[in-house]
Chains A and B, each alone.
Chain A
């Protein structure tokens, strides 16, 4: 695909980046982003994930150059870029509000960055045509932006950013204004295009399922600092804190005490009964808890821990149970429930799980 082939993607490195803001109410300075250290591989798709106010958008805007860091240096393709203005940085951003130019049609919107680069009309025409084909808007060139649906506007914004072949593509919650179904469709689309072009992408979202679906790596932020980073699987199955575990997907926490080791597993005691958890950490003593995903738990007449059913609800793809183990509430997603025994509210049952599905956290 000539014309849309991105040039060499660039890596991004944040070297101990901090940003300080003044709280308008108290007048006191606080860290919006604190000591963020990050190395993003060229061509990878990285998501900054976290609740609102966690510093993810500020981080993105520092990379784009709209905000200046108070500590640390940002590198793009190995070059320090702290002192560069946004227009001199090899980045292109897709905004939450799309930020399309209302006085231009689709073609002119997409061509904007190319015209700035002084390209000839024929080259611009070719590149715009190609990129519009890529985002599947080929027949919409002459439309004004207010004649487009939300999803189409989103594609124009994406095309406009892609067409300048930036070293890194920045997304600021680009799908938050779309409806759920379109959101799912567009995120697949974004991922497909990013992989086709092999471009580096940094993506900000507060939607954990979006982050999981789209990213090579997730950086989970909280209160301006990185809570955990890693691949979606790592973060999902090996959260390093209750916050991470809880933010990504649904999670159960079972309090336990470690009593010993058995091969790869540690043995822990839950409400007086021994269970096995896959962990390297077998330090005894101290508060610990077992992290369990709802779909990793089995419910049956026999098992590891006795429980009492408090909620039983058919969800289609799974049977949703809330059960009480000791005084802890445990949520269970029993997949493909057809043909299995269905427990009713008030029933006594047992839960069990494989040791590699469980994860140990210090509390």
Chain B
């Protein structure tokens, strides 16, 4: 029994489709060169020294350092806590939005703004305001409560700030999933006598399980890969990302940094594989090609009141933290002199080349965003809907990038491209230019986009595309006329997410940026580290306005031109 003929026919059918073949070849080249290769170089650097050949010396040295061991345990502790907390809070917010009838417009507006705020801001903004609110000179701790020695630096500081930063990502993921659950399934359970809670635990929750794993994974990896928050609010509580950064920028120990980076990569990779293995078995299509009806919202007060109160409390806390930032930019000296001033904003543009910083950041992100969004939708389409030999490779590698912390990728790029590919000088030209920054932006946002694209596509009945294909549409036509319109929302949000992620990126970029490019995030980081909170806040405020504006624009577009428009009109 041989399956040779079908394999060869499938191959022939594939090659009869030049668009597909070109796409696949380009994708494989891109993924290999910009994801696999830099990581491979890291691995080589960590076990090979030009003098001694193959060696485990660098690992032995790293593991013999107490600081490194402590950094590992610190990182894991924070990661687990933040992963769990973010998933829980994110789920709660999404549930309230999709299932619960929120009484007032103010409330629902508050939810949306609050959940979006952390997504659109550079991560260290929360660290900044945490210090400004609860630190030694904090408004709340010192001026309101009279506590003069509160220590926000360390484990809880990082954990709280990271949870506030990452739960909205979970919220967005859960919202997408919940909206795709066919309400009649829940109605069926309710109808059979299940209580509201029972419906949640026996229908909604099991359907969400892969999504919850997903959310935890995303947050966990984000948390242990996070560089900016531990840098600013970690104090002496070092995590792997910061330790590695200091190893290469401070100690100039390239091989040591590579060895540590491999360890960090190993941890994220294991988490990633555990999740992947678990997800594969649990994925189920919950939506067919047939039209679905609207959901009956929960109006029962015993459910709505506690949920809304809880969410509002978190919401207000987050709002407070964000309000802090523009005020930080408007006061003369935070904690001492609360006279209003515009001097920090003025200085941003007059003394610190603010305009160039915004121009550079904006332009590079604007180039990266559409490339990322399109690339991730194409990858999702290929992975979910098509059958071909190298599909596994594309799927694994593009998802793999998710498990690669920015710091690790940054070091990989330094080692891999500073002297050209394999030190041959090939592609050396891109090192230190905007091109490599754009590529890093793309690679850093690709997994998120691909993940959301895949989950959106998995919900769409395969036969919808098959029928277009069957009716005579080629791959490109199927993709543009059926797939893309059906996941338009997902594409648009991918576009904006990629833009926002790029313009707020720091961890890999800080290792690769050269003086010819001024990036806002790098500036904020610099001034925050120096303790110039006024300037840092001014930069951050303007950055928040840009990113928040783009998200508002996206929501406007989705609302008026999105997939759900026609369905909404019907209702």
Contact = CB atoms under 8 A, between A and B. Distances in A.
Interface stretch (A111-119, A251-259, A275-283, A305-313): A111-119
Interface in A81-133: 82-89, 91-93, 95-103, 105, 112-113, 116-117
A350 interface: no
B290 A68 contact: no
Nearest to B5: A70
A71 to B, nearest CB: 6
A147 interface: yes
B198 interface: no
Contact of B470 (A91, A96, A145): A91
A87 B563 contact: no
A137 to B, nearest CB: 16
Contacts of B17: 85
Interface string B542-558: 00000000000000000
| Chain B interface helix/strand/loop/mixed | helix
A102 B289 contact: yes
A20 B292 CA distance: 36
B12 A83 contact: yes
Interface stretch (B116-124, B223-231, B459-467): B459-467
Contacts of B469: 85-87
Given A20-B3, A86-B469, A102-B486, A95 B463 contact: yes
Nearest to B567: A146
A73 to B, nearest CB: 10
Contacts of A153: 290-291
A65 B12 CA distance: 12
Contact of B13 (A70, A85, A91, A147): A85
Contacts of B192: none
A321 to B, nearest CB: 39
B307 interface: no
Contact of A100 (B9, B289, B477): B289
Contacts of B467: 93, 95, 99, 157, 160
Contact of A68 (B10, B16, B477, B570): B10
Q: Which of A101, A147, A153, A157 has the most CB of B within 10 A?
A: A101
B470 A20 contact: no
Interface string B1-36: 111111101101100110000000000000000000
Nearest to B571: A146
A68 B292 contact: no
Contacts of A270: none
A102 B566 CA distance: 9
B482 interface: yes
B485 interface: yes
Contacts of B290: 97-98, 146, 153, 177
A144 B463 contact: no
A41 interface: no
B474 interface: yes
A214 B218 CA distance: 53
Contact of B473 (A19, A83, A87, A93): A87
Contact of B466 (A20, A82, A99, A157): A99
B468 interface: yes
Q: Which of B2, B289, B470, B569 has the most CB of A within 10 A?
A: B470
A97 B463 contact: yes
B154 to A, nearest CB: 49
B471 interface: yes
Q: Which of B464, B467, B485 has the most CB of A within 10 A?
A: B467
B288 interface: yes
B485 A70 contact: no
Contacts of B291: 102, 144-148, 153
Contact of B471 (A19, A20, A146, A164): A164
B4 A70 contact: yes
B468 A65 contact: no
B306 interface: no
Given A68-B5, A83-B13, A87-B474, A98 B289 contact: yes
Given A93-B470, A97-B461, A144-B570, A71 B5 contact: yes
A101 B464 contact: yes
Interface in B270-329: 288-292
A99 B463 contact: yes
**Interface size for chain B: under 10, 10 to 19, 20 to 34, or 35 or more residues?**
35 or more
Contacts of A98: 289-290
Interface string A139-165: 000001111100001000100110010
A29 B2 CA distance: 9
B470 A92 contact: yes
Contacts of A71: 5
A147 B570 contact: yes
A320 B371 CA distance: 70
Contact of A144 (B468, B481, B566): B566
B472 interface: yes
Contact of A116 (B10, B13, B292, B471): B471
Nearest to A113: B471
B472 A70 contact: no
Nearest to A145: B291
A31 interface: yes
A85 B387 CA distance: 13
Contacts of B569: 144
Interface in A240-296: none
Given A91-B470, A98-B289, A70 B6 contact: yes
A66 B3 CA distance: 16
A87 B5 contact: no
A70 B470 CA distance: 21
Contacts of B471: 87, 92, 112-113, 116, 160-161, 164
Contact of A97 (B7, B13, B289, B474): B289
A69 interface: yes
B466 A95 contact: yes
A169 B470 CA distance: 11
A64 interface: yes
Contacts of A89: 470
Interface in A16-43: 19-20, 29-31
Contact of B485 (A82, A83, A100, A103): A103
A97 B288 contact: yes
B463 A68 contact: no
Interface in B469-495: 469-474, 477, 481-482, 485-486
B6 A88 contact: no
A210 interface: no
A67 interface: yes
Contacts of A20: 1-3, 6
28 contacts: A19-B6, A29-B3, A66-B470, A68-B7, A68-B10, A69-B9, A70-B6, A83-B12, A83-B16, A85-B16, A86-B466, A87-B469, A87-B471, A87-B472, A88-B472, A96-B463, A97-B289, A98-B289, A98-B290, A100-B289, A101-B468, A102-B289, A102-B464, A103-B563, A112-B471, A116-B473, A144-B569, A147-B570
- Which 7 residue pairs are nearest across A and B when measured between Cβ atoms? A146-B291, A68-B9, A113-B471, A99-B463, A68-B6, A99-B467, A95-B463
Interface of B: 1-7, 9-10, 12-13, 16-17, 288-292, 461, 463-464, 466-474, 477, 481-482, 485-486, 563, 566-567, 569-570
Given A97-B463, A161-B471, A164-B472, 10 more contacts: A69-B5, A83-B9, A97-B288, A101-B486, A144-B291, A144-B569, A146-B291, A147-B570, A148-B291, A160-B471
